[in-house]
Amino acid sequence: MYEDGTEDGTICAALNAPAQSRGARACWWVPVLLGSMLAACSTGGEGMLLLVDSGKYQYHTCGQIADAAKAISGRREELATLIARAGQGAGGTLVGAVAYQPEYTATGQELQVLEAAARSKNCNNPANWRSNSAIQ
């Protein structure tokens, strides 16, 4: 017998002792609570691509990258409109968060991957286009 009064020395066995009936019910939520606390620490930070493969566009040409960026930007704008429209109704914020937010986040990450691929290939994109007119 251990000093905590149990035969196997575990906390759950001590909580499940007949004198502590409330501990028997409390033992199941301890792993759930610990798991949720650890899950909160594991969310992706800024710059982490959790939903998109970072090498997806490495073999695309500059034209293909530009076409993909245009299509994904259009879809992202469409999703932003859908999220805003859903937020106007009762319970719509929840619907927008569940139905549209994951894809909205994925399209944002996809655009980051496209920009990185365009930079690595030295493609002409709106960020590095030169003006045709001179400043006078």
Domain count, the chain: 2
Over residues 124-129, the mean pLDDT reads 58
Q: Which structural domain, as residue segments, surrounds residue 20?
A: 1-33
Q: Are 115 and 125 in contact (CB under 8 A)?
A: yes
Residue range 55-108, pLDDT digits in tens: 888 889 999 999 999 999 999 999 999 999 988 888 888 888 888 999 999 999
- The two tokens of residue 115 are 């920009």
What is residue 136's predicted lDDT score, i.e. its pLDDT?
54
Same domain, 110 and 67: yes
Considering only residues 63 and 10, tell me which one the structure prediction assigns the higher pLDDT: 63
Same structural domain, 113 and 69? yes
**Domain membership flag for residue 133:** no
pLDDT tens-place string over residues 107-121 = 999 999 999 999 999
For tokens 């619907």, name the residue. Answer: 95
List, in order, residues 6 or more apart from 101 with CB less than 8 Å away.
83
What per-residue confidence (pLDDT) applies to 45? 45
In the predicted structure, residue 46 carries a pLDDT above the cut 70: no
Higher pLDDT: 80 or 13? It is: 80
14 falls within a domain: yes
- Identify whether 53 is part of a domain: no
Do 74 and 111 belong to one domain?
A: yes
For the cut 70, the answer to whether the pLDDT of residue 44 exceeds it is no
What is the rounded end-to-end Cα distance, in angstroms, of the chain?
91
Q: How far apart are CA 26 and CA 11, in angstroms?
A: 11
Q: For the chain, give the DSSP string.
A: --TTS-SS--HHHHHTSTT-HHHHHHTTHHHHHHHHHHHHHT---TT--SSS-TTTTTT--HHHHHHHHHHHHHHHHHHHHHHHHHTTSTTHHHHIIIIIHHHHHHHHHHHHHHHHHHHHTT---TTTPPPSS---
Question: Residue 70: its pLDDT value, please?
Answer: 94
Q: How much is the average pLDDT of 25-42? A: 57
